[in-house]
Amino acid sequence: MTRLEVAPPHDHPVLIGRGLEPPQPQGPVALVYDAAVEPLALKLAKQARPELTLRLEGGEASKRLAVYEDLLREFARARLPRDAEVWALGGGTVTDLAGFAAASYLRGVAWLAWPTTTLAMVDAAVGGKTGVNLPEGKNLVGAFHPPRGVYAELAALDTLPEATFREGLVEAFKHGLIAGDAALLAPWDLAPGRPELEPYLARAVTVKIGVVERDFKESGERMKLNLGHTLAHALEAASGHALAHGHAVAWGLLFAALLGRELGGEDLTQPVLRLLAWTRAPAPPTGGWADFAGYVARDKKNRSGGLRWVVPYAAGDVRVEPVAEAALRAAFNAWREHAAGYSG
C-alpha cells in the first residue's frame, strides 16, 4: 500500500493499494456508489455500516443537476447531520457529483473519495474539484471541496474494461510530460493486477498533488494540467462526443507536442504516437484549422488565462503562454498530416 499526503491547508491522505482498510467514520455515512462496482460497494457497506446507501448509474449522463438534487433530497430525507460523511465510490463522474453534493449539503459536509477508474485515481478524485455539467457545457457548476481522504482500491480495477483502463492513463502520461517523469511516459506494460501499477499510479498522483498544492484555485501553475485539452475539447465537440475523452486528450497531446517542436522545443511526438496506438485511439474527426478554431476560441474564453496555450518545450518544461496564430496553424497542419496517415 502506498500512502501519499496532501499538505495543509487541505491536508488529507491518498492511499493506493489492494485491500485498503476503510477509516473510522467520523459521523453517519452516506455511501453513494456506481452500479458498476456494486460488489465492492456491498463489501464497503459491511465495514462502514452506512446510514444511507445510494446507487447510481455511472457515466456523464448522471453528472447533472437533476441527479445532484436527488442526492441532496435523499440526504435531507435521511436527516443527515452536519457531521455526516459522503463516501463516493465510482469513476470520476460519481466522485465529481457526490463530492459536489457533499460540498453543498448543509453548506458542506466531509467526504471520502473511493475512485474506481484509472482516470479517477490519477486525476478526478485528486485536487478537490467537484461539480456537475449543465446542458450548456461540462463542469460549469461546482466547488473546490477537498475530500477527507482518497482511497484508490486497486481491486476495483479488475472489472474495468481494458479500453477504459488505458484511456484513463492518458492523464497520467500527461502528468509525466508536465513533471518530466520518464516512468510515466511508458505505461505500456500496465494492467490491473500488475505489481508495477501501484508505483505508477502513485507517481502520477504525486505530480497532481504537487501542482494542486502550489496552485489550488488554478490561478497559474494548475493551468498546466490542461495540457492537450484545448484541442481535445474541440475534437470531442466536433465528433458529437463520439470520440472518448482520453483519446481526444491523446490527440490533443500530439498537437501540443508538435506546437512545442514548432516553437523550438524538443521533439516529444514519438511517445505520444505510441500512446495513441496503445490506447487504440480511433482517427480524429476530419476538418481544417478553420473548422476547429471556433471551438477553440469558445473553449479558451471559458477558461481563465484567455488565449494562452499550454506548450511542452521538453518533458518537465511546460509553459503557459500566448502563441502566435502562424505557429498554431503550422502545428495544426503537421498534426493533420499525422492524423491522415494514422492507422491505429
For the bound state, the minimum distance from the C-beta of residue 232 to ligand NAD, rounded and expressed in Å, comes to 12
Which of 180/192 has CB closer to ligand NAD?
192
How far apart (Å, rounded) are the C-alpha atoms in residues 102 and 68? 10
Interaction residues for ligand NAD, span 31-90 (CB under 6 A): 34, 36-37, 58-60, 63, 90
Q: Which three cell numbers stand for residue 103?
A: 460540498
- 160 lies in the site for ligand NAD, by CB under 6 A: yes
Residue in 25, 147, 168, 187 binding ligand NAD, rule: CB under 6 A: 168
| Minimal distance, residue 289 CB to ligand NAD, in Å | 26
Cβ closest to ligand NAD, residue 166 vs residue 338: 166
Contacts 24+ apart (CB under 8 A), 229-233: 229/310, 230/296, 230/299, 230/300, 230/309, 230/310, 231/255, 231/256, 231/292, 231/296, 231/335, 233/295, 233/299
Q: Which is nearer to ligand NAD, 63 or 338 (CB)?
A: 63
Nearer to ligand NAD, 233 or 261 (CB): 233
Among 25, 91, 176, 252, binds ligand NAD (CB under 6 A): 91
Nearer to ligand NAD, 116 or 269 (CB): 116
Size, binding site for ligand NAD by CB under 6 A = 29
If binding is defined by CB under 6 A, does position 116 make contact with ligand NAD?
yes
Regarding 252 and contact with ligand NAD (CB under 6 A), the answer is no
Q: Does the footprint of ligand NAD cover residue 226 (CB under 6 A)? A: no
List 119, 237, 250, 311, residue binding ligand NAD (CB under 6 A): 119
Footprint of ligand NAD (CB under 6 A): 34, 36-37, 58-60, 63, 90-94, 96, 116-117, 119-120, 123-124, 127, 129, 138-139, 156-157, 159-160, 164, 168
